[in-house]
Amino acid sequence: MSEAVLTAQQLRKDYLSGDRRIEVLRGVDLAVTAGESVSIRGESGSGKSTLLNLLAGLDAPDGGSLAWAGAAARAERRAAFLGMVFQAFYLIPEIDALANVLMAARMVRSPGVAERARAKELMARVGLAERATHLPGQLSGGERQRVAVARALMNSPKLLLADEPTGNLDEHTGDAVIDLLLSLCRETGTALVLVTHNAAYAQKTGRQLFLREGLLH
């Protein structure tokens, strides 16, 4: 039986709107095993990004529990345990693509020869070996997202969380980025949780879920 890299039980999240409390997540259960790919779809405003932020430990739930690989999810474990890809690329504009990938390693340790070699390998794997010294502003949107994917995989994470990673890309480029994500995760055994509004992309994952009325179905 595969190891559970992510276990969420009865996650709840509420927000206050004036004097009114809005239940966004009403008790979400989710277990993801090593190497598994899972997609989460839902209507706009259904709480998909809220859920992903909870799974990443970027926000605290109002109830429920979250474990990464069987241990409590803690901020100090995040950089080594998981990678994230967002709709916005969040690259540092003043440094080149390779240095942006290496920034993930800096969150864990001071990068050395091995880390630099891995960053170059990842840049080649995402098809950007010849663009490694280019600044983000010199890259296309698709190229910037590929750099973001390489950065997310820099620390060999057990889990990759992707929040609408194709939202700023045209259809052709988006298709290529999704295929790249799935391919790299299969090769590395990294579990993937993909939040997307695109049904075709969702169908490419091993398991498809839908967030409705604060619950996963």
pLDDT tens across the length of the chain (217 residues): 578 999 999 999 998 888 888 899 999 999 999 999 999 999 988 999 999 999 999 999 999 999 999 998 999 999 999 999 999 999 999 999 999 999 999 999 888 999 999 999 999 999 999 999 999 999 999 999 999 999 999 999 999 999 999 999 999 999 999 999 999 999 999 999 999 999 999 999 999 999 999 999 9
Full-model pTM: 0.95
Q: Are 51 and 11 in contact (CB under 8 A)?
A: yes
Q: How far apart are CA 157 and CA 117, in angstroms?
A: 17
The fold adopted by the segment(s) 4-216 is Rossmann fold (3.40.50)
Based on its alpha-carbon atoms, the radius of gyration of the chain, rounded to whole angstroms, reads 17
Q: How far apart are CA 144 and CA 89, in angstroms?
A: 6
Bridge pairing between strands 159-163 and 82-85: parallel
Can you read off the two tokens belonging to residue 206? 């091993």
